[in-house]
């Protein structure tokens, strides 16, 4: 089974609220459909659909604002984005099914405590492609919190052969240079390491938080960061061919 995360920066314009990059997302779905592997779980981020509301209502803090309104609105925006992706996958004859991240996870004080991975594998067993996504989740201490796509990747990686993070950069950088293998000794990143075109605030955490989760995931399966804005890179990786990327190794 292969885990694929379509980052919010790839499928949306994170600087313009509720802007979907349809053409790019269609291409990425085509590349997934062309894979010789049949067992996938697709995770997607919230990008400009989830982050504005999460930031406005301070959902990633210990004291979220207007919990009922925040949960309703942000969940709705995420499901709008998810439904677009599901429809596009079905159009490409990928039998996608939606599994909201907030429904299958348990959080305590902003930390993931449990994820029901069994339901994903049951859907794989009947021939479908589970698609999950960043969401608002119930939290035992905070009432609600952000369930990030990175948390979902970590919670699902135990039975994966490979985890692919599809980003808007070629991989992970140190001192401004792309590294093809990132190890724990290179962590943490500092400001001069990171090369990115993003200017918006990522409320699910910065690059170091993402890399920390990637290092954890790499204990269970091979873990890669690739550039989804570049044609055929995802396709090449899914079909076992060399492509520009960073492999994360603990």
What ranges in 20-164 are assigned the alpha helix state H?
22-33, 47-56, 67-91, 118-125, 149-156
Cβ–Cβ < 8 Å for 41, 130? yes
| CB neighbourhood size of 76 (10 A) | 12
Per-residue DSSP letters for 184-231?
GGGPSP-TTT------S--TT--HHHHHHHHHHHTTTSEEEEEETTST
Average pLDDT, integer, range 114-139: 98
C-alpha distances in angstroms, 24 versus 6, 18, 28? Answer: 11, 15, 6
Helix or strand holding residue 115 (H, E): strand 111-115
38-94 pLDDT, tens digit per residue, is 799 999 999 999 999 999 999 999 999 999 999 999 999 999 999 999 999 999 999
* Prediction pTM value: 0.95
Asked if 142 and 64 touch (Cβ cutoff 8 Å), the reply is yes
Cα dihedral 94/99/105/111 (nearest 10): 60
Select from 3.30.420.40, 3.40.50.300, 3.40.1160.10, 2.40.110.10 the CATH code of 2-249: 3.40.1160.10
For residue 198, give the nearest of 69, 45, 89 by alpha carbon.
45
Q: What is the pLDDT of residues 171-225, one digit of tens each?
A: 999 988 999 999 999 999 988 887 655 444 454 448 899 999 999 999 999 999 9
CA angle 230, 235, 239 (to 5 degrees): 145
213 CB-contact burial (10 Å; exposed 0-12 / middle 13-18 / buried 19+): buried
Distance between start and end Cα atoms, the chain: 21
């Amino acid at each position: 089974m292969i885990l694929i995360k379509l980052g919010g920066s790839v499928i949306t314009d994170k600087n313009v609220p509720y802007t979907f990059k349809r053409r790019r997302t269609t291409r990425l779905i085509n590349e997934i459909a062309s894979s010789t592997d049949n067992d996938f779980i697709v995770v997607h981020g919230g990008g400009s659909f989830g982050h504005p509301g999460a930031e406005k209502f301070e959902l990633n803090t210990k004291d979220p604002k207007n919990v009922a309104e925040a949960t309703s609105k942000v969940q709705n925006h995420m499901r709008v984005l998810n439904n677009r992706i599901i429809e596009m996958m079905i159009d490409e004859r990928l039998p996608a099914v939606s599994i909201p991240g907030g429904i299958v996870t348990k959080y305590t004080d902003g930390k993931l405590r449990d994820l029901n991975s069994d339901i994903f594998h049951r859907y794989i067993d009947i021939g479908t492609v589970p698609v999950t996504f960043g969401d608002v989740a119930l939290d035992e201490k905070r009432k609600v919190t952000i369930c990030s796509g990175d948390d979902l990747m970590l919670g699902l990686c135990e039975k994966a052969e490979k985890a692919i993070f599809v980003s808007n950069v070629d991989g992970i950088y140190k001192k401004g240079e792309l590294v093809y293998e990132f190890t724990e000794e290179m962590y943490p990143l500092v400001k001069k390491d990171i090369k990115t075109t993003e200017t918006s605030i990522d409320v699910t955490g910065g690059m170091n938080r993402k890399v920390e989760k990637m290092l954890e995931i790499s204990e269970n399966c091979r873990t890669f960061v690739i550039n989804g804005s570049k044609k055929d890179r995802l396709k090449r990786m899914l079909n076992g061919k060399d492509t520009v990327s960073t492999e994360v190794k603990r």
